[in-house]
Amino acid sequence: MISDNLRQIKANIATAANKAGRDPQTVKLVAVSKYVPIERIQEAVDAGQRLFGENYLQEAAEKIERLQGDISWHFIGHLQSNKAKQAASLFPMVETVDRLKIARALDNQASQLGKELSILIQVNVGREAQKSGVLPEEAPTLLRAIQAETNLKVCGLMTMPPFFDAPEKSRPFFRQLKELADELASKRLFTDNSHVELSMGMSGDYEVAIEEGATIVRVGTALFGSRM
C-alpha cells in the first residue's frame, strides 16, 4: 500500500534527521512520479503527499492538468532550452539547471508569464561523463552569471551521485555538495544564503543524504514500487 510506504518513508526521514540533530520538518519529500499512473499518484495524495517530481514534460502536463488541488510539482529531468517555455509554465521549481542558456530561456519565459520561478543548480559531483550537471569548480561562475542576468530565484543545489548498492558509498558525494553549498552561500550567490536547499538522495540512500544535509529527497521506487 502506498499509504504504508509513505508512512515508513516519513518515519525514516524523521529518524535520519533526528540522528543528525535536525528538525525532520526541514526535509521535503519529493515523490518521483514518472511512469506512475494517475490513480496511484492520487493514492499518494489521499495519503497526504503534496509534492511530486516529474522527469518528462509531456507526461507531466497531463498529470498536472488532471490532478488539481493543493499539489506542487518539481521538474527533475534533463531540460533542453527549447522546452523551457513549457517547463516554466508547468512548474514552480526546476531542479536541473546546469547551463546559462537554460537559465536565460527559463527566465525569459517566466518573465513573459509574470511568474517567479525557482531553480536549483544541478552539480555533477561524480564527474560522470554520461550525466548532466555543472562541475563543482564551475558552479561559482554559473551562479554569478545567473545572478547578474536573470530574475530566477536560485534556491540551492541538486545532485545525482554515482550509483552504488551500498548507501554509505554515496556519503562523500553528499558531503561534497553540502560543502560546495556552504562555500557558495558564503559568497552570497543564492537568493537566500541563510537557507540553501540541497536536493540529494533517492530511494536507496535518502537517509544518508539527510544525515549529510539534504533538505529535499527524491523518492520514487520506495513509495510507488517498481514501475518497469
Structural domain boundaries enclosing 17: 2-224
Residues 177-192 have pLDDT tens digits of 999 999 999 999 999 9
pLDDT over threshold 80, residue 207:
yes
Share of residues in the chain with pLDDT > 90 (%): 94
Please report, for the domain that includes residue 38, its CATH number: 3.20.20.10
pLDDT over threshold 70, residue 21:
yes
Q: Is the dihedral of CA 188, 190, 191, 194 positive or negative?
A: negative
User: In the predicted model, what is the mean pLDDT of residues 93-113?
Assistant: 97
Spatial separation of the C-alpha atoms in residues 133 and 131, rounded to whole Å: 7
CB 159 within 8 A of CB 177: yes
pLDDT over threshold 90, residue 102:
yes
pLDDT over threshold 80, residue 227:
no
Cell numbers found for residue 109: 519565459
Cell numbers found for residue 64: 498536472
Spatial separation of the C-alpha atoms in residues 25 and 6, rounded to whole Å: 15
Residues 126-183 have pLDDT tens digits of 998 889 999 999 999 999 999 999 999 999 999 999 988 899 999 999 999 999 999 9
pLDDT of 228 = 52
Cell numbers found for residue 63: 498529470
pLDDT over threshold 80, residue 16:
yes
pTM over 0.85? The answer is: yes
pLDDT of 129 = 86
User: In the predicted model, what is the mean pLDDT of residues 74-83?
Assistant: 95
Give the burial class of 197: count Cβ atoms within 10 A of its Cβ; 0-12 exposed, 13-18 middle, 19 or more buried. Answer: buried
pLDDT of 170 = 96
pLDDT over threshold 90, residue 214:
yes
pLDDT of 68 = 84
Number of structural domains, the chain?
1
